[in-house]
Structure 1
Amino acid sequence: MHLHADFSKRAIVAAHQYQWVASPQAGVERVMLDRIGEEKARATSIVRYAEGSFFPAHSHPGGEEILVLSGTFSEDDRHYPAGWYLRNPPGSAHQPASEEGAVIFVKLRQMPESEQAPVRIDTRSPANWVQQGTIQVCPLFTSEAEHVRLLRLPAQEPLAWPPTGGAELLVIEGTLVADGQNYAGGSWLRFPSEDSPQVHAGPEGVTVYVKTGHLPPDGPGA
């Protein structure tokens, strides 16, 4: 399967466009945002766990990145409420589950083998945020290949553009405006390198996940 696999093109899935698809595991559904491959794929998804659902224990040869959007997501005996950011490096393994139900943003098989350290950050903790001018920033991960953070922009605040290496955005709270279109919480937007959209916060401000530097400069995903 190839879905939004050409990284030289814009890809947008607004929250009202979600199409939930059953996974191989009962009680777990997903919205596919981009994908290269079948069940074992380089993939970006929104995943919804029903109350009491789980996946059998498995490994992640290409790593896994997670942002918990609602509910509580569990790995074995560790529990992560909404707001937690996780990175499980290549070769790691876990048994994911949710006792109360959860919705998570997930990126699979998108880490280099050199990434070895797990990351756990509670983005709801004020201690993890810093003020940069009028914007609040929660740094999540930085390497030569990518820069990941949460941003809180006040009403109408523009998002600095263009970033190097393209950008991927997930609206967490509020409204993001891109080239005059409003995108509510849950909307996902990917802009290729050299693209220069006009992006700013809506009238109530916005909290947005931002990943930059990770997209190939041109051509389809491999």
Structure 2
Amino acid sequence: MLINADFSRNAIVTPDQQPWVPSPQRGVERVLLDRIGGEQARATSIVRYAPGSRFPWHGHPGGEEILVLSGIFSDASGDFPQGWYLRNPPGSGHEPSSRNGATLFVKLQQMPPDEQRAVRVDTRDPAVWRREKDSAVCPLFASSDEQVRLLRLPANAPLLQAAPTGAEALVLAGSIADARRSYPQGSWLRLAPGAQAALSAGAAGATVYLKTGHLPNPNGRSLP
């Protein structure tokens, strides 16, 4: 299966373009944002757990990244309400579930094989945020290959002017806009390496998940 699989092109999926697709596990549905492969795929998705649903134990040979968008997500390492950021390295595994339901932003098989550190960040904790000019930043993960953070931007504040190594954004609150249109809460944007993109927060500001440096570059870095 190939969905938004050409990383030399920008990809944008707004909430009105996000159909829910049943997963093989009853009670778990997904919005497929990008995907290369079948059920075991390099994939970016929004995943929704119905109350009481679970997946049987499974491994993540290429790692897994999760941002809890709503509800409470659980596995053997704990219960994680809305706002938690989880990073499970390659070779990890778990049996995920949600007692009362949850919605997640999930990225699979997108980590280098030598990444070993599990990450848990509660983005509701004021101590994990720092001020940068008029904005607030919550660092989630940083390496030589990528940087992941949440941004809280005031009205009309710039988000990104260019994406020399590519970028990926999920609008968590408010909206962002470019010269052509506005992207409301729930919009997902993937900008190709080298893309020019004058993106800024909307009139009510924005909270945005932003990831940079992780996409294949024009010189042909292969996908994990």
**TM-score, scaled to structure 1:** 0.97
> Which aligned pairs between 1:96-175 and structure 2 lie closer than 5 A?
96-175=96-175
**Contact 1:177 1:183 (8 Å CA) reproduced:** yes
Provide, for residues 100-159 of structure 1, a one-character-per-residue CA deviation record: whole Å limited to 9, x for no partner: 100000000000111101000001111000001011000000001100000011001111
Percent same amino acid among aligned pairs?
Answer: 58
**Contact 1:155 1:201 (8 Å CA) reproduced:** yes
**Deviation, structure 1 residue 221:** 7.1
Report the counterpart of residue 15 of structure 1 in structure 2.
Answer: 15
Corresponding residue SS for 1:159: strand
Give structure 2 stretches of 5+ with no counterpart: none
Give structure 1 stretches of 5+ with no counterpart: none
Corresponding residue SS for 2:163: coil
Aligned residue identity for 2:56: P
Counterpart CA distance in 2 for 1:221 and 1:4 is: 16
Counterpart CA distance in 1 for 2:221 and 2:117 is: 29
Aligned residue identity for 1:30: R
Corresponding residue SS for 1:113: coil
> Which aligned pairs between 1:54-93 and structure 2 lie closer than 5 A?
54-76=54-76, 78-93=78-93
Residue 179 to residue 221, structure 1, CA distance change in 2 (3 Å): farther
Corresponding residue SS for 2:207: strand
Residue 220 to residue 145, structure 1, CA distance change in 2 (3 Å): closer
**Contact 1:142 1:148 (8 Å CA) reproduced:** yes
Counterpart CA distance in 2 for 1:150 and 1:188 is: 14
Report the counterpart of residue 3 of structure 1 in structure 2.
Answer: 3
Corresponding residue SS for 1:127: helix
Residue 9 to residue 173, structure 1, CA distance change in 2 (3 Å): same
Aligned residue identity for 2:58: H
> Which aligned pairs between 1:30-69 and structure 2 lie closer than 5 A?
30-69=30-69
Counterpart CA distance in 2 for 1:64 and 1:46 is: 13
**Contact 1:5 1:220 (8 Å CA) reproduced:** no
**Contact 1:63 1:109 (8 Å CA) reproduced:** yes
- Say what the alpha-carbon RMSD is for the aligned residues: 1.4
**Deviation, structure 1 residue 192:** 0.7
Counterpart CA distance in 2 for 1:37 and 1:160 is: 30
**Contact 2:68 2:84 (8 Å CA) reproduced:** yes
**Contact 1:6 1:220 (8 Å CA) reproduced:** no
Which deviates more, 33-42 or 71-80? 71-80
Provide, for residues 8-48 of structure 1, a one-character-per-residue CA deviation record: whole Å limited to 9, x for no partner: 10101001211100000000000000000000000000000
Aligned residue identity for 1:99: R
Alignment of 1:29 onto 2:29:
yes
Aligned residue identity for 1:131: R
Provide, for residues 148-194 of structure 1, a one-character-per-residue CA deviation record: whole Å limited to 9, x for no partner: 00001100111132233110000001111133311111110000111
**Equivalent residues, number:** 222
Counterpart CA distance in 2 for 1:173 and 1:23 is: 27
Residue 15 to residue 220, structure 1, CA distance change in 2 (3 Å): farther
Report the counterpart of residue 178 of structure 2 in structure 1.
Answer: 178
Corresponding residue SS for 2:127: helix
Counterpart CA distance in 1 for 2:145 and 2:179 is: 27
